[in-house]
Amino acid sequence: MTTALRRLRNYIDGEFRDAADGRTTEVVNPATGEPYATAPLSGAADVDAAMAAAEAAFPAWRDLIPAERQKVLLKIADRFEERAEELIAAESENCGKPIALVRSEEIPPMVDQIRFFAGAARMLEGRSAGEYMEGFTSIIRREPVGVCAQVAPWNYPMMMAVWKFAPALAAGNTVVLKPSDTTPASTVLIAEIIGGVLDELGHPRGVFNVVCGDRETGRLMVEHRIPAMASITGSVRAGMQVAESASKDLKRVHLELGGKAPVVVFEDTDIAKAVEDIATAGYFNAGQDCTAATRVLVQESIHDEFVAALAKTASETKTGAVDDEDVLYGPLNNANQLAQVKGFIERLPAHAKIEAGGEQVGEKGYFFAPTVVSGLKQDDEIIQHEVFGPVITVQSFADEKQAVEWANGVEYALASSVWTKDHARAMRMSRALDFGCVWINTHIPLVAEMPHGGFKKSGYGKDLSAYGFDDYTRIKHVMTSLDG
């Protein structure tokens, strides 16, 4: 007996719709490897409809006073709390994530982030009005940019959707959001929640729209004439394609791309505590995090002790079913990602040593064991390229100078961490590390008030914080004569 697949639909101008041409894709639960839903494979007609709805809704939404937009966002946050169990179930099915961890590690920060941006809506900043030329007064207006085309990734579908729509809506923009083709379920539920709030408070339905689809759908969104801004969280390749497409009509671009975070561990570190925290930050969400602590550089005097302790911790770390409260992470998101992680392991050079893991786990789904690889060199593929899986590499460095050289010696520049009891060394390293975030004696905590974003091939623009809010605004100078 075959179970009928659930039908997900686009959300355009306040209505749930199938793709105009009826095309769909199957959505697979990565914990089972089996399809559980279908989603629209949206084409040009669907993108046109969503963009037109967002464009029509923009003037009224833009012209609301900030306090009114704040009310909407605060009510959305309340609804997220009220319907948390539905969101958790959708995200767990989307990604195979452990239910307990989605409940504790994703819902609270998402709600907090929406509320933060609700407040940011009322904190528009600019230089004070004044007379900078005799006889004239200058003022600064901070305005929304317009319609925003946004593309969210599959590693944190719900949270990345929040990082995109919350600052955009708070600033007065309207949104067309595309989830990954492998994880649309929670985003469609978010559309239902936001649409309900907009209806309840009497705001235009086209303020928030969701279009499901693949890379071609995303390309159509970015190249569309209506959006003033394109925002994407994804791979470096995808970011480059978006930047190129957006350049054709000079759209604003906001890119949060890949990472290869160095974790620099000095010999004065508490090894047991560092290993525990680094393993958690490396294996959480199956290592599918651009900031994951998966590239460890350890001072040579403690290298062997550190590797032995990390391998032991890896062997004790569990991956498994979504309802098992003892597991740290679930499966990789899709079959292609599983193949990518396996490929990195299969292509390891002869001088590398697998200290723990290194293989797929279970007979169904896309689970991969917690893995530790040592003996690596700076130019090895697995050091230079993002694995995006539960694989922690370890290199041995001689001194601070070499640590900085190797830490910075990749094309990514999103996040990093330094582990030492020496305050002066920590300050020197935080200055020398060429990354958008430097954690000291910790790795991976984020707060709504502080910016998240990188340099180099990790992209540009900031998520979270007032800086993230500013990215969704434009600056206008208004000058008036005092002569009347």
| 431: nearest Cα among 412, 450, 407 | 407
- Least Cα distance to 105 among 134, 119, 84 occurs for 84
Active site residues: 256, 290
Residues 155-198 pLDDT 10s: 999 999 999 999 999 999 999 999 999 999 999 999 999 999 99
Provide DSSP, 340-359.
Answer: HHHHHHHT--TT-EEEE--S
pTM of the model: 0.96
Tens of pLDDT along 366-396? 999 999 999 999 999 999 999 999 999 999 9
| Predicted local confidence at residue 2, as pLDDT | 52
CATH of 6-257+458-477, one of 3.40.605.10, 3.40.718.10, 3.40.50.2000, 3.40.50.12240: 3.40.605.10
Quick one: DSSP state of residue 424? H
Place of tokens 């060199």: 377
Residue 48 pLDDT exceeds 70: yes
Summarize pLDDT for 68-116 with one digit per residue, the tens: 999 999 999 999 999 999 999 999 999 999 999 999 999 999 999 999 9
Place of tokens 């639960």: 29
Would you call 5 helix, strand, or coil by DSSP?
Answer: coil
Predicted pLDDT at 127: 83
Print burial letters for 425-461: b (CB count within 10 Å at least 16), e (below 16).
Answer: bbeebbebbbbbbbbbeebbebebeebbbbebbbbbb
Burial degree of 77 (CB within 10 A; 0-12, 13-18, 19+) = buried
- Average pLDDT rounded to a whole number, residues 214-221: 97
Q: In the block, which residue shows the tokens 């001194």?
A: 399
State how far Cα 339 lies from the chain centre.
Answer: 22
Token pair of 344, please?
């990195």
Q: Are 386 and 260 in contact (CB under 8 A)?
A: yes
Residue 250 CB coordination number (10 Å): 8
State the pLDDT at residue 126: 80
End-to-end CA distance of the chain: 81
Residue spans of the domains in the chain: they are 6-257+458-477, 262-447
Residue 267 has pLDDT above 60, yes or no: yes
Q: Mean pLDDT over residues 135-150, rounded?
A: 96
Mean pLDDT calculated for residue range 319-333: 96
> CA dihedral defined by 211, 214, 219, 222, rounded to 10 degrees?
30
In whole angstroms, what is the distance from residue 280 CA to residue 261 CA? 14
Is pLDDT above 50 for 1? Answer: no
Looking only at the bridges linking them, the beta strands covering 459-460 and 252-256 are antiparallel
Contact, 253 vs 409, CB < 8 A?
Answer: no
- pLDDT, average across residues 130-135: 95
For residue 113, give the nearest of 438, 410, 447, 368 by alpha carbon: 447
Average pLDDT, the chain: 97
Query: Phi/psi of residue 481, each to 5°?
Result: -75, 140
**Widest CA span of the chain, in angstroms?**
83
Question: What pLDDT does 128 receive?
Answer: 86
Say if CB 35 and CB 5 are below 8 A apart: yes
Q: Is 157 helix (H, G, I), strand (E, B) or coil?
A: helix
Q: Does domain 262-447 have CATH number 3.40.309.10?
A: yes
With residue 245 as reference, give the H or E element that holds it. Answer: helix 236-247
| The predicted structure's pLDDT at residue 421 | 98
Q: How far, rounded to the nearest angstrom, does the alpha carbon of residue 301 sit from its chain's CA centroid?
A: 36
